[in-house]
Every structure is written in structure tokens, then in C-alpha cells.
Chain A
Amino acid sequence: MERDEIKSPVFLRAEGLGYQVDGQVLLSDINFEISAGERIAIFGPSGAGKSTLIRLLNRLDEPVSGTAYLDGQDYREIPSRVLRRRLGMVMQQPNLFPGSVAENIRFGPTTQGENLDDARLKALLSGVDLAGFADRDVAKLSGGEAQRVNLARTLANKPEVLLLDEPTSSLDQAARRDVEETILSVLDSGEVTCILVSHDRAQVLRLADRVLMLEGGKLIADGPVEEVLDAQSMD
């Protein structure tokens, strides 16, 4: 494994992460370590707890047990707003705000009192293959376009880790490939570490180099893509 030789220091570490709602355990004792620049897929059947894990990492929900460390710091000690910008999340549904594409992409920086200049807006838009879309009304976008605006909106915050929760599952085949291409080019162009949730094997093979396999709220495998997926298909 060449990855071991160049192993960089751990950037994100989950330690005994657990979550439950009304006594029902949705995640228990999740442990993993991720280095900067890695491309991780969280893979597993529907209801395995994949979204739950991503939401915990963005701290949209509060872990009931355990914690995570970002660059060595307990993530609960980082103010939520700062943490959420560092671990940028793209949800399954675009959930765009009413208004124009540009307004959506400027949202994150604006809440920080920063102004996203036109050049960066343009760069972000062309990064998601939406050059010229700045003034379009988001209500009139196709599903694939909306999801790419969603991605650009998160990227505008310059996250260190990108959390993608099934970013293509609500799209048809053609749009899915478009968004996938966009994600790949974003990953290739930057330093961003990526955690992608997917239950599509082919997509995991195309986008990730390591897989965390979840089932019934437990982490049941962690390793290189082929290894984990092959072992998975054998049983």
C-alpha cells in the first residue's frame, strides 16, 4: 500500500462516535482516522446511518457519545459556525435559498461579512460547469444544475473537508454523471479532503480511494476501495 509510505498526519479522527434518538441507537462506537487529501467513501445500505454520521461531523446533530478531532482539536471546542465552514457539507437535496444563483453562492462568505468578488464567483461557477448562470433564478434550474449550485455554494466557504451526502441520488442518470464529473474536477483541482456518502458501488469506485463500510449503525469495514467492495460482494 503506497498510501502508508506517504502517510500524512491524521487530519480528522472519530473516536467512539455514537448517536441515538429517543433511545434508538442510530450509530455506535464509530472510530476512524482520515489524513488530509484523502478521498473517503461512506458506503452501506439504506438506513445504515450514513447521513447520521455526516450530520454529526458537520455538528448538525450532537453526538451522544464520543467525539471527533479536527487537526488534533476536539471538534466540540470549535465554535459551530467555524467548524461548519471547515467541514463543508453538501446535502442530498439542494435546499437552495429563493433568489439567484449568485445570491446562493455568496451566502456563506456574506454571513462572514466577506464579499465574494466577481472573479471568484465566476471561477466557482465555471468550476461546477455553470458559467453564465450567475443571474439565473434558482427556481428555474434543473435538478442537476441545482445540485451543482449547491456544491459551489459550499465550496465558496473554502472548506478543508468536503462532506457530500449522496450528492447525486436525487438525479437522473445523465445529470448524475455531470455532477460526478464536476466533483472529480473539484477534487483534482484542490487540496480538499473528501468524505462522500454513496450506496452506488460504481460511483464509489470512480470517486473514492478508501471505503468506510457502515451497517446497522456500526462501522464494519475500513480499507482501500477494491478490497472492501470485493469482500463485500463475496458474502
Chain B
Amino acid sequence: MLSRWIDNQILLGAAQAGVTMAAALLVVAVTMRLKLGLKKDILVGLGRGLVQIVAVGFLLTLIFSADLWISIPIILVMIVTAGFITVQRIKSIPNALWISLAGISAGAGLVILVMTILGEIKQDLTSIIPIGSMMVYGAMNANALMLERFHSELASHAGQVEAGLALGAPPEQVVAPYARRAVTAAMIPRINGLQSLGIVWIPGAMSGMLLSGENPAYAGFYQFVVSGSIFVTVGITVLISIVLVRKQVFSKAEQLLIRAEEN
């Protein structure tokens, strides 16, 4: 409907974003009524989201014609930012930033590299950057979920962990059940995602290809490539992170550094 009145594409986009923003503000108004206490987070989220994604859109129009190697610093910036966003919410794990950076770079970095070499990602910036961002984003969320769950498991089972230590058990053995639960918790959304693929949701990559008129059957295959690769990314990230974090929650003398929380 909007397109009948506006023929400049960018102005059209701005108008469409404006409509969405209005709807979102309506939701904010409702949440204020319900006193959910999320007003600030939502407003900041909406504002940041709009500014960031539009800025990136403009930026991409500039660099899509640039050399392929520029994707390396761009993906690195994504990874570092993902690490910082993760640790905002996880303060009580020592070295959470380094663990997250290692896990996310290993998972996302490796998968993006292999996919690009194999040609599963087309070797141009319009493919590497958006698909790469999906890997980094998936790795970031899974890593944060895993760390948060691991911390809360330890805090609520500190007694059992220390009982195990007091019996002379190695820390890795004592935390194994909680590490397993944390990894499972981080993988479940991805497993659900694969199971519901195409039925409950048609994710971004396929939607994009359909919107730009690609062959739907090929788009289907390609969506599986993307979803499967995110799954691999998440798996590598979470496994590397858990191996690293498992050591960080103990001192050199094998003392638990996470304080017990009464539940």
C-alpha cells in the first residue's frame, strides 16, 4: 500500500520501518500499563536495533563492491562485539570474555572459513557477511545460554560440588553432570529449530532467497545448509567454551569459586 505513494526505495523503507516502530511503541505502551519494568530495555533495544541495522545497510552498499578480504575484519568485529554482549549478563564467571571469544571464534570462524572454501557460501561479500553473521549470532546466543546455565547449576549445587572435591575428586569430574546440563540447554533451541524447520518457520536465508525470486527448491536445500551449519557452529562453540569455563570456576588449589545460592 505504501508503495503506491512513495517511489523512492529508501524513503519507502524508512516509511515501512516507521510503521513497524509505531506498532512496537504500541507494545511498549501496553507493557507500561502492565508494569513489566521493561520499558527502558525495549526502547533502547528498538532504537539501537533500527539505527544499527540501517547503518549496516548503508555501510554494506559501500563495501559490497570492495575486496573479499574485508570480510575478515568485519566478521572479527562481529565476534568481538558478540563476546562483549555475552559478558554483560554473565559477570560472576572469571574470564567469561576470553572464554566467549575463544568459543565463538572457534565455532563461527571455523565454520565460515570451511563453508567459504567449499563454496557453500558464495565467495562474495553479499553472501559471506550475512551468512557469517548468522553463525556468529547463533554462537553468541548458545554460548551465553550455556554459561548462564552452567553458573546457575553450580550455584545451586555448590554443596554437592564441594562434597565431591572434599572426597578428593578432580574438578572436571565433579562438575561433569552440570556441564552436561549446560551444554544440553544451549543445544535444545537449535535442535527444536531443525525439527520445526519449514513447518513452524521459514528462516531468514530462505525467506531472503524467496523474496528475491530464487528457485524455492534450491532455497530449501540452501536453508538446510545454513541451519545445519549454525548447528555445527553452536556445537563447536559450546563444547570449546565448556572445556574452558570448567577450569575457570576453580582456583589453582581446586577450590570452587562460585558462591552458593540458596534456592
Contact = CB atoms under 8 A, between A and B. Distances in A.
A81 B254 contact: yes
A62 interface: yes
Interface in B120-174: 159-160, 162-170, 173
A17 B165 CA distance: 21
B215 interface: no
Interface string A43-77: 00000000000000011111000000000000010
A84 interface: yes
Most interface-central of A81, A150, A154 (chain B CB within 10 A):
A81
Contact of A61 (B159, B163, B255): B255
A92 to B, nearest CB: 9
> Interface range on chain A: under 10, 10 to 19, 20 to 34, or 35 or more?
20 to 34
Nearest to B256: A60
Contacts of B162: 60, 91, 95
A96 B162 CA distance: 11
A150 B163 CA distance: 9
Contacts, number: 63
A95 B168 contact: no
Contacts of A81: 168-170, 254
A112 interface: yes
Most interface-central of A58, A95, A154 (chain B CB within 10 A):
A95
A154 B166 CA distance: 9
Contacts of A58: 166
B253 interface: yes
A108 interface: yes
A97 interface: yes
A112 B166 contact: no
Interface string A91-133: 1010111000000000110011000000000000000000000
B251 interface: yes
Nearest to B161: A95
A214 B166 CA distance: 23
Interface residues of B, number: 17
A41 B162 CA distance: 23
A111 B168 contact: yes
A85 interface: yes
A84 B166 contact: yes
A84 B255 contact: no
Contacts of A85: 167-168
Most interface-central of A60, A76, A85, A96 (chain B CB within 10 A):
A60
B167 A59 contact: no
B253 A62 contact: yes
Contacts of A60: 162, 165-166, 255-256
Interface in A136-166: 150, 153-154, 157
A102 to B, nearest CB: 15
Contacts of B164: 97, 107
A136 B169 CA distance: 23
Given A59-B255, A62-B255, A84 B160 contact: no
Given A60-B162, A95-B159, A111-B173, A80 B167 contact: no
A96 B167 CA distance: 12
A89 interface: yes
Nearest to A93: B159
A82 interface: yes
A111 B163 CA distance: 13
A80 B256 CA distance: 12
A84 B255 CA distance: 11
Most interface-central of B167, B169, B173 (chain A CB within 10 A):
B167
B165 A153 contact: no
Contacts of B167: 84-85, 88, 107-108, 111, 153-154, 157
B169 A91 contact: no
5 contacts: A84-B168, A91-B159, A112-B168, A154-B167, A157-B167
Interface of B: 159-160, 162-170, 173, 251, 253-256
